[in-house]
């Protein structure tokens, strides 16, 4: 950010970035002083720049959400159909269609009622109060009263209330992982930084709003407030982000348009043919056209899709994946890319001791035997500012990890610390990179313990502890230790060296130059924010499912690369370095070039929030469906831009959860893969229901169309709608409960270009629909050719009833066919889905009731059938199953 290109806190910036200014330049530019502003100056500036709070986007009301549900194209088609049905006196038909529409709207509102909470969550994170210089005195004010130019004091435990340029920083460290992705607290300093275009996490003399001071203290001048802060900029990105349509929504829109055109064409053609024949009245042909429209519209599809998705959300919730938007269930199943944040998502977001270097030997810390009274154990526990609280260990993550190591080895660390009181200390300093404490043992002996950077500590040691004996350190020892340090550092491990020396008294003067000399080197420890134990297996499973995991982090390149290598994210076929890119390198690439090269990179390090959005967008322009995982404030814009944002339920900020479509209740990366499996199952089941519905509707349309062409008596609208009501909806919903097919996670992702008709479904819909229609027409012909009554009128009535029964019953038989797209129903289990069995039985009883129940059949203009006629109808259903099974067998042979 430069002074010529941006505004911060309302002040126009000039040629330098904030971190490049001297204190004098800073104070002059902000028209303030180290003693802060006066009350009058604050009042004037607040009037000019407003309060230090984040602007919230207007939230839609429940009524607005409800109305929005009716903007879907398919819903509009159904409403029009209901209006037409009502206008022609078919009120039952109209009410059924409207009930389906309302059910869909209620489900949609219920799922989306808690959406769009990201900005409100950001506001709730703000620091409540701040210590500020006003009129030359330090006073406590509400953080929303801060203005640019205010001088703020900070100490350990404080939340930074605004973006600050630090004036002082005394052993000050700030936890910025939620904003920058940095896995450990950043050591802050007040000196001018001269480099241009530093990454957010490298601006060590700046402190950002809503980050946490973990150790030390300092002060700084407010350079940005409210929406002008870095977190405010992210809030603006979230606010401006466009809602992306899921593949499911796009598919339903396309299907609605396609069906609308088809319905209109069929209705018009049939109406014109009937009028040209001159044998029917205008009213009769209008009713015929309406019958065709009713037959063509899958009235239950929106409700079936919604219910199938809702059932999917329930299954996912049981497996720790909480869905915030219904379409997100299906989107997971089409995911090509999982772009994952590292800190807290792939890793545990806590430092852990992993390696020890003792007596010249590198040892796995998990199996090392380090007695609690050994010099290394005492140095790790005593040279440490960790606090013991009811909630656990508090303090710097590096130091808490040192204590936690011994707690994990059943050492009473708190007792050790209490029985070795600290007499004096030389605090950590970012320049010398060392810390010393002077502790007294139970027998009154004084011991100095030192920890710090290995290269720094090695310049101050003269002896080394070797198998319990102290001896002079040699050049070979130093060379070996430095080589080990380098080797561990290349593995992204953070290395600390420890030393000690017995003393008679605390040195005078107590300075580093005087006291941190003539030390005895104990050894080295190596730490890392380790990967979650289950992630490597989840990454491998994602690869086997054709999904590419990539890492996007604000952490350093070496750290990100090492973790990615350990998890299997980096491809073994390529050079690791070529697959890793930093935010600075990404800035040097144009959008056009990056879109061409995006597939080359598996790890993005040291990135800013806008980089994450750019990465997501680049993959989307390649036609890929992108899932983005994250837990920090800095992840929120990308979570919203992605096709599906996946937030972390435990470690995630409310901001990231508010911007997500799905939240992992257990923060377990492997749960994402489980959710992908459920998503694929949901899409597969929707495909099955769609194949079932549309093939049935094509059968109905073909039957009516041919009957009209041949001048036969046709099925009435109420008969068609009754068939649709009892045979479509309940069996189709039950198909949504089908268990997943065994190979569902071995298939390649469908991707954005796929739709409901992919994978042979379109061909199946066509031939199965034609088959249903031809079988129904054949039964109608059989009824006419072999009547059981001599009366021509009764013979036609029986034939029409047989056609009605066949058209309904054949769909129920076909529901078993639809249990799988290509596999044999006898292989997946004919009666395995109990819900489908009961749905088919209930539908059959309702269908049969319109024929056999006296009075009821009169309402539907149907006649009772004889045993032979029922036998013909049932035989037609068996023929339907047999032919579809033969076609599936041929398809499987061709696909091999």
Residue 389 structure tokens: 């609280």
Instruction: Enter the DSSP assignment of 508.
Output: S
pLDDT of residue 870: 93
Please say if the pLDDT value at position 790 is more than 60.
yes
Nearest to 816 by CA among 835, 830, 834: 830
How far is the C-alpha of 140 from the C-alpha of 112, rounded, in Å?
Answer: 40
Residue 567 structure tokens: 């998890």
* CATH H-level superfamily of 247-319+678-895: Calcium-transporting ATPase, transmembrane domain (1.20.1110.10)
Instruction: Enter the DSSP assignment of 223.
Output: E
pTM: 0.64
40 labelled catalytic: no
Please say if the pLDDT value at position 259 is more than 80.
no
Tally of CB atoms within 10 A around 398? 20
Residue 753 structure tokens: 């270009």
Q: Give 822-862 pLDDT, tens digit per residue.
A: 888 888 777 888 889 999 999 999 989 989 888 878 877 78
Q: Which residue(s) pair with 605 in the sheet?
A: 582
- Which residues fall within 8 angstroms of residue 650, CB to CB, at 6 or more apart? 665, 666, 667
How far is the C-alpha of 301 from the C-alpha of 493, rounded, in Å?
Answer: 55
Q: Give 550-577 pLDDT, tens digit per residue.
A: 998 877 888 888 889 889 998 777 677 7
Phi-psi group of 329: left, alpha or beta (phi > 0 → left; psi -120 to 50 → alpha; rest → beta): alpha
Q: Give 510-565 pLDDT, tens digit per residue.
A: 999 999 999 999 999 999 888 888 889 889 989 988 999 999 887 788 888 888 98
The average pLDDT across 740-751 equals: 79
The answer to whether residues 365 and 380 touch, using CB atoms and an 8 Å cutoff, is no
Q: Give 609-636 pLDDT, tens digit per residue.
A: 778 889 999 999 998 999 988 776 767 7
How far is the C-alpha of 43 from the C-alpha of 134, rounded, in Å?
Answer: 12
Rg (CA), the chain: 36
- Domain 352-528 is in which class? alpha beta
How far is the C-alpha of 408 from the C-alpha of 529, rounded, in Å?
Answer: 16
Q: Give 206-237 pLDDT, tens digit per residue.
A: 999 888 887 788 999 999 998 888 888 877 76
- Domain 323-348+533-674 is in which class? alpha beta
Residue 509 structure tokens: 């003067």
How far is the C-alpha of 402 from the C-alpha of 416, rounded, in Å?
Answer: 13
Residue 499 structure tokens: 């030393």
Mean pLDDT estimate for the chain: 82
How far is the C-alpha of 781 from the C-alpha of 784, rounded, in Å?
Answer: 5
Instruction: Enter the DSSP assignment of 866.
Output: -
Helices (runs of H) and strands (runs of E) counted in the chain: 34, 28
pLDDT of residue 2: 35
Instruction: Calculate the CA 8 to chain-centre distance.
Output: 32
Q: Kindly report, as residue ranges, where domains of CATH 2.70.150.10 are found in the chain.
A: 22-51+120-240
> 260 vs 161, which has greater pLDDT?
161
pLDDT bin (cut points 50, 70, 90) of residue 401 is very high
Please say if the pLDDT value at position 336 is more than 70.
yes
pLDDT of residue 880: 93
The average pLDDT across 661-672 equals: 81
Please say if the pLDDT value at position 270 is more than 60.
yes
Q: Kindly report, as residue ranges, where domains of CATH 1.20.1110.10 are found in the chain.
A: 247-319+678-895
pLDDT of residue 10: 38
Please say if the pLDDT value at position 105 is more than 90.
no
pLDDT bin (cut points 50, 70, 90) of residue 97 is low
Phi-psi group of 320: left, alpha or beta (phi > 0 → left; psi -120 to 50 → alpha; rest → beta): left
Q: Kindly report, as residue ranges, where domains of CATH 3.40.1110.10 are found in the chain.
A: 352-528
The average pLDDT across 447-473 equals: 94
Please say if the pLDDT value at position 86 is more than 70.
yes
Catalytic residue among 72, 341, 385, 396: 341
pLDDT bin (cut points 50, 70, 90) of residue 126 is very low
Cis bond upstream, residue 298 (ω within 30): no
Cβ-count burial 85-114 (b if 16+ within 10 Å, e if not): bbeeebeebbebbbebbeebbebbbebbee
CA of 466: how far to CAs of 360, 377, 626, 861, in Å? Answer: 8, 15, 54, 101
Nearest to 627 by CA among 582, 671, 662, 666: 662
How far is the C-alpha of 129 from the C-alpha of 379, rounded, in Å?
Answer: 37
Q: Give 367-394 pLDDT, tens digit per residue.
A: 888 898 999 999 999 999 998 988 788 8
**Interior angle at CA 759, CA 758 and CA 765, nearest 5:** 75
pLDDT of residue 308: 76
pLDDT of residue 6: 34
What percent of the chain lies above the pLDDT cut of 90? 31
The answer to whether residues 696 and 826 touch, using CB atoms and an 8 Å cutoff, is no
- Domain 22-51+120-240 is in which class? mainly beta
Q: 216 by DSSP, 3-state: which?
A: strand
How far is the C-alpha of 229 from the C-alpha of 810, rounded, in Å?
Answer: 65
How far is the C-alpha of 714 from the C-alpha of 509, rounded, in Å?
Answer: 108
Please say if the pLDDT value at position 9 is more than 60.
no
């Amino acid at each position: 950010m430069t002074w010529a290109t941006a505004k911060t806190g309302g002040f126009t910036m000039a040629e330098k970035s904030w971190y490049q200014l001297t204190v004098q330049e800073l104070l002059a530019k902000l028209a303030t002083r180290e003693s802060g502003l006066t009350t009058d100056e604050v009042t004037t500036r607040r009037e000019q720049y407003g309060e230090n709070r984040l602007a919230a986007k207007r939230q839609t009301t429940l009524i607005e959400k409800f109305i929005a549900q009716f903007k879907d194209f398919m819903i509009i088609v159904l409403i029009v159909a209901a209006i037409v049905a009502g206008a022609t006196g078919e009120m039952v038909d109209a009410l059924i269609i409207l009930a389906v529409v309302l059910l869909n709207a209620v489900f949609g509102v219920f799922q989306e009622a808690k959406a769009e909470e990201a900005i409100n969550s950001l506001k709730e994170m703000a620091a409540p109060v701040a210590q500020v210089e006003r009129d030359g005195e330090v006073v406590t004010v509400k953080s929303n009263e801060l203005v640019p130019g205010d001088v703020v004091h900070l100490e350990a435990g404080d939340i930074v209330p605004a973006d600050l340029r630090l004036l002082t920083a005394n052993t000050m460290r700030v936890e910025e992982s939620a904003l920058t992705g940095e896995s450990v607290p950043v050591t802050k300093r007040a000196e001018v930084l001269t480099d241009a275009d530093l990454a957010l996490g490298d601006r060590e003399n700046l402190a950002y709003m809503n980050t946490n001071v973990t150790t030390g203290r300092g002060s700084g001048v407010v350079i940005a407030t409210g929406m002008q802060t870095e977190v405010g900029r992210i809030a603006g990105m979230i606010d401006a982000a466009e809602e992306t349509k899921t593949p499911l929504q796009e598919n339903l829109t396309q299907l609605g348009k396609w069906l609308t055109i088809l319905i209109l064409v069929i209705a018009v053609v049939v109406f014109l043919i009937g009028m040209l024949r001159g044998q029917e009245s205008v009213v009769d042909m209008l009713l015929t056209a309406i019958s065709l429209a009713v037959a063509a519209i899958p009235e239950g599809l929106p409700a079936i899709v919604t219910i199938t998705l809702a059932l999917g959300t329930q299954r996912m919730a049981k497996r720790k994946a909480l869905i915030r938007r219904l379409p997100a269930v299906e989107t997971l199943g089409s995911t090509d890319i999982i772009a994952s944040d590292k800190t807290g998502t792939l890793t545990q977001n806590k430092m852990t001791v992993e390696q020890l270097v003792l007596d010249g030997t590198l040892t796995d810390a998990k199996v090392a035997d380090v007695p609690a009274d050994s010099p290394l154990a005492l140095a790790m526990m005593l040279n440490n500012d960790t606090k013991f609280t009811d909630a656990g260990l508090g303090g710097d993550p590096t130091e808490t990890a040192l204590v936690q190591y011994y707690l994990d080895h059943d050492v009473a660390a708190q007792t050790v610390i209490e029985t070795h009181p600290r007499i004096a200390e030389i605090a950590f300093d970012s320049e010398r990179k060392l810390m010393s404490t002077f502790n007294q043992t139970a027998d009154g002996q004084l011991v100095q313990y030192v920890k710090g950077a290995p290269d720094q500590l090695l310049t101050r040691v003269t002896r080394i502890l070797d198998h319990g004996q102290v001896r002079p350190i040699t050049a070979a020892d130093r060379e070996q230790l430095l080589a080990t340090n380098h080797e561990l550092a290349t593995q992204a491990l953070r290395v600390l060296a420890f030393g000690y020396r017995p003393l008679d008294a605390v040195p005078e003067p107590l300075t580093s130059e005087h006291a941190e000399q003539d030390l005895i080197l104990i050894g080295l420890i190596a730490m890392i924010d380790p990967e979650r134990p289950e992630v490597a297996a989840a990454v491998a499973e994602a690869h086997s499912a054709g999904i590419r995991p990539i890492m996007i982090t604000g952490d350093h390149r070496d750290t990100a690369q090492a973790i990615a290598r350990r998890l299997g994210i980096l491809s073994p076929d390529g050079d690791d370095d070529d697959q890793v890119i930093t935010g600075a390198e990404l800035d040097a690439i144009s959008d056009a070039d990056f879109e061409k090269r995006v597939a080359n990179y598996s790890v993005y390090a040291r990135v800013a929030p806008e980089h994450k959005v750019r990465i997501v967008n680049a993959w989307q322009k390649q036609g890929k469906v992108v899932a983005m995982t994250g837990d920090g404030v800095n992840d929120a814009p990308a979570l919203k831009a992605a096709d599906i944002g996946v937030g972390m339920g435990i470690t995630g900020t409310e901001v990231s959860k508010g911007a997500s479509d799905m939240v992992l209740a257990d923060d377990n990366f492997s749960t994402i893969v489980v959710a992908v499996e459920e998503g694929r199952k949901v899409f597969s089941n929707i495909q099955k229901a769609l194949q079932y519905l549309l093939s049935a509707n094509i059968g109905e349309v073909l039957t009516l169309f041919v009957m009209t062409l041949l001048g036969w008596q046709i099925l009435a609208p109420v008969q068609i709608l009754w068939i649709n009501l009892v045979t479509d909806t309940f069996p189709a919903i039950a198909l949504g409960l089908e268990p997943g097919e065994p190979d569902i996670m071995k298939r390649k992702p469908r991707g954005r270009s796929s739709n409901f008709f992919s994978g042979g479904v379109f061909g199946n819909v066509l031939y199965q629909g034609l088959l249903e229609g031809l079988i129904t027409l054949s039964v109608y012909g059989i009824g006419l050719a072999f009547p059981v009554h001599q009366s021509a009128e009764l013979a036609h009535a029986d034939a029409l009833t047989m056609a009605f029964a066949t058209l309904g019953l054949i769909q129920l038989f076909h529901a078993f066919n639809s249990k799988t797209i290509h596999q044999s129903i006898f292989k997946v289990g004919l009666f395995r889905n109990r819900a489908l069995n009961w749905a088919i039985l209930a539908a059959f009883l309702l269908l049969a009731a319109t024929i056999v129940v006296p009075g009821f059949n009169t309402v539907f203009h149907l006649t009772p059938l004889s045993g032979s006629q029922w036998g013909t109808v049932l035989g037609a259903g068996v023929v339907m199953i047999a032919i579809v099974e033969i076609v599936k067998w041929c398809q499987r042979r061709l696909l091999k």
